Chain A
């Protein structure tokens, strides 16, 4: 994985519908916690806060992990943990686990 390669994130289900795109790219110059990736995702696509944000609307410092979604890399679920690291060049998918989300 080359440095400075963007991370490609595939969005499924309600997330894809909310922003009208199945894939987004997020700049990534070095390995970082997945929670940082989510924080930047919400910063660039604030419409996703409805589904990925916190109940209290605070996604700045204490944002943790999207509820009801699995983060997948190379057909493997990544642990829903603050210790999970993502890397430049990663191709990730956020998979919705439950029917529903947005009409």
Chain B
């Protein structure tokens, strides 16, 4: 069961789309980012025409959703099961204390809609799994994976690979985070990096909201770069962030993948 708020653009990413015009209100709202080099009105129009699936709007995903709503992505599909718990509130910035016990994804959708009334939101009170991954991935041009379970990530990446869609992979633990983009063949497949589920894995882990917020902002920027087709997404590279020591390392993944060839910019996956 899902519900929609404020439909404004078609969701089917397989449909040939012409880029939408920006309204005066949108031009004013995004005036500061329209001046970003290589982005401009064309990049903004691509964002407006694009859709992003965010798997879980928790610590990382809530910040991803907020930043994509701010940037002017046209359609967000939010997938997250369950009700708000008090222990969510150190990091899940779209949740509120007043709504503890109510649906996470509904709270996130209402906060985002308040922030950006033009945004189309599909709120799905489910976590991504093998039974729904194909359907949910099919709704979006790009996926941001912020799930804490291997099974969710594997199912979503399998569906994304089958549909040829890019996945921004963001993860954290304590004061560490990793970020990469999975989009074969210019990157390894997720199963090339994570073949199977490790034994003994636990969903709960120590983290500050500032850490999930930091990696969430970076993940949102990767989605913006991919969708608008500018700058250099982390194709075939993994960003490792150690916020305890304030170290950042870019790790080359497979040398036989052509991801590095995209260093001068990459085309948007939107058909036009």
B39 at the interface (CB under 8 A from A): no
B201 at the interface (CB under 8 A from A): yes
B139 at the interface (CB under 8 A from A): no
Contact call A97/B195, Cβ cutoff below 8 A: no
* B interface residue count range (under 10 / 10 to 19 / 20 to 34 / 35 or more): 35 or more
Q: Which of B156-171 contact A (CB under 8 A)?
A: 169, 171
A67–chain B nearest beta-carbon distance, Å = 4
Q: Which of B28-70 contact A (CB under 8 A)?
A: 60
Contact call B195/A80, Cβ cutoff below 8 A: yes
- Indicate which residue in A67, A70, A77, A99 contacts B196 across the interface (CB closer than 8 Å): A67
Name the CB-closest residue of B to A103: B204
Contact call A96/B238, Cβ cutoff below 8 A: no
B14 at the interface (CB under 8 A from A): no
Contact call B173/A99, Cβ cutoff below 8 A: yes
B141 at the interface (CB under 8 A from A): no
* A interface residue count range (under 10 / 10 to 19 / 20 to 34 / 35 or more): 20 to 34
B102–chain A nearest beta-carbon distance, Å = 24
Name the CB-closest residue of B to A101: B205
| A54 to B171 CA separation, bound complex (whole angstroms) | 23
- Indicate which residue in A55, A68, A95 contacts B240 across the interface (CB closer than 8 Å): A95
A residues near B (Cβ < 8 Å) are: 12-14, 17, 50-55, 65-70, 72, 75-77, 79-80, 95-103
A-B contact pairs, 18 of them (CB 8 A): A13-B176, A51-B199, A51-B200, A66-B198, A68-B201, A70-B238, A70-B251, A72-B251, A75-B252, A77-B193, A77-B253, A80-B192, A95-B178, A97-B169, A98-B201, A99-B147, A100-B173, A100-B204
